A and B are shown apart, each in its own frame.
Chain A
Amino acid sequence: MLNDFLAEFSGLLAQGTLDTLVMLFASTAIAYVIGIVLGVVLHLTAPDGLRPMPALNAVLGWIVNIGRSLPFIILLIALMPATQAIVGTSTGVRGVIPPLVVATAPFVARMVEQSLAEVSRDAVEAAEACGASVPRIVWSALLPEALPSIVRGIAVTLIAVLGYTAIAGAVGAGGLGDIAIRYGYYRYENEVMIVTVVLLVVLVQLIQSVCNYIARRVDHR
């Protein structure tokens, strides 16, 4: 029975897992490039930051909040024309990466902002007193000091994005979520449903464990 199952579905599940991983890591990586910049700017321009700019801070804060308040499924559909224009399709793995990035970047911005806020004020002030410029403080003091916390944030983000990729499956993105819906839900293939759930659980555990390990390795506190 197991052999029959594997013969029928192993290729499908392998492809689904691969698609999920591609969506997950590609969109999270791009979201981090945007999110770190946003998070740093939010941190620096806060009223008690190194470069207070209340207006810019407020506008960025609103944009980030709006990005975070849209339910992902709505964002996914609303962005379809833009997605079509950017990557040439609004379905499949490629078609879901832009909306995933748009949904994830504001989340990352807040995670990074929070990690930066945890950095010891004394250390930042000492760097300032050494005559370091703001970009230098960001590169050589703030981000390195916040690194363990940022890595822990990556685990939280990856797991949240994994959930989004499953949602994206509902509108034809591919991946494990798509398989769970098409086979598990529409075709009552319970075994397929169970295996996709198990795969997702294993992915979450792996992501968390690996990030915890890295965070511990880079944390010298």
Chain B
Amino acid sequence: MISIQHISKSFAVPATRGRRSRGKGADFSYAAAVSGNPAAVAASVVQATDEAASTIASVLPDGTVSALSDINLEIADGDIFGIIGMSGAGKSTLVRTINLLERPTSGRIVVDGQDVTELSGADLRAYRRRVAMIFQNFGLLAQKTVLENVCFPFVAANGKVTAENRERALGLLARVGLAEKASSYPSQLSGGQKQRVAIARALACEPEVILCDEATSALDPKSTNTILKLLRDINRETGVTLVVITHSMDVVQKICKNVAVLEHGRVVEQGPVERVFDAPSAEATRVLLGRVDWDA
């Protein structure tokens, strides 16, 4: 059970010129404007938020940019929980607070009764092993073979790979249908295959949760279906909780049981997927569902 309690996150508008803020969470609006001077950056953020069509998070009175405000979600064990929203709505930032790649400014993440937002050092690393993650751009090590990539979590945990670890990794590669690619390098694989390697890597340490950050956004429809089916089957086989970040309603419809809709860093709607699809209450949901007159 992951309980997200009153999570807020704001970013300081970068004071140093040309510094790229770490991580995708900070990727909205001002990332495009960081090349300018700080005043111009702030101005452009304000300007961007003024636009009605913009999905960009708001500028707070103290000059920081709010990416998430007061998010509350409960994600049950074994659930496939979708978090959907437009680009810049704060989805990636939210999911990255769950494994603390992004530290929330306020609020708590409580996993199985333990407040993980307090963790640091070895405890934090141990927690991260329970919460695997897959990424839009796969995040594979280009200079390591497929097998070495899948074994990386063992290296991360123990500094070495045992024969047993290797067996498990080979088993996982077989599970994702890439047994014969063990000694290939990521550059020799297609996008869908790379994501399957990333899934095998995510499974290496038998995680309780897998965070999927736009896992299929860079893939064609066929590979998307393969990946979604694989994720769903793994959820059924192992009972692992999946948190699925996406801007595609199609993805939510195919695999999610519950969904939260994020807009401007706030949850505007949440519930079981059928309910949200049948009777969307928020405008953002209707837009995401395509149930608006796009010619208007």
Q: Which of B16, B128, B187, B211 makes the CB contact (< 8 A) with A130?
A: B128
- Do B129 and A123 touch (CB < 8 A)? no
Output the least CB separation between B153 and chain A (Å): 5
Query: Digit string of B89-115 for contact with A (CB within 8 Å is 1, else 0)?
Result: 000000000010100000000000000
Q: Which of B127, B143, B159 makes the CB contact (< 8 A) with A136?
A: B159
Q: Which of A122, A141, A221 makes the CB contact (< 8 A) with B137?
A: A122
In angstroms, Cα B140 to Cα A144, docked, is 13
- Do B153 and A147 touch (CB < 8 A)? no
Contact partners of A131 in chain B: CB under 8 A: 124-129, 153, 156-157, 205
- Do A123 and B142 touch (CB < 8 A)? yes
Output the least CB separation between B157 and chain A (Å): 6
In the complex formed, the residue of A with least CB distance to B128 is A131
- Do B99 and A129 touch (CB < 8 A)? yes
Output the least CB separation between B261 and chain A (Å): 25
Contact partners of A147 in chain B: CB under 8 A: 143
In angstroms, Cα B130 to Cα A129, docked, is 10
| Number of chain A interface residues as a range | 20 to 34
- Do A123 and B139 touch (CB < 8 A)? yes
- Do B101 and A221 touch (CB < 8 A)? no
Contact partners of B11 in chain A: CB under 8 A: none
Output the least CB separation between B108 and chain A (Å): 20
Contact partners of B137 in chain A: CB under 8 A: 120, 122
- Do B152 and A140 touch (CB < 8 A)? yes
Known A127-B152, A136-B155, A140-B152; contact A122-B19, beta-carbon cutoff 8 A: no
In angstroms, Cα B198 to Cα A122, docked, is 12
Q: Which residues of A contact B (CB under 8 A)?
A: 47-48, 120-123, 125-133, 136, 140-141, 144-145, 147-148, 218-221
Would you mind naming 13 contact pairs between A and B with Cβ atoms under 8 Å apart?
A: A126-B135, A126-B140, A126-B201, A127-B141, A128-B128, A129-B101, A130-B128, A130-B153, A131-B125, A133-B125, A140-B155, A144-B141, A144-B143
Instruction: List the 9 shortest-distance A-B pairs measured between CB atoms, nearest first.
Output: A126-B139, A132-B156, A131-B128, A131-B125, A122-B139, A220-B185, A131-B129, A129-B133, A130-B156
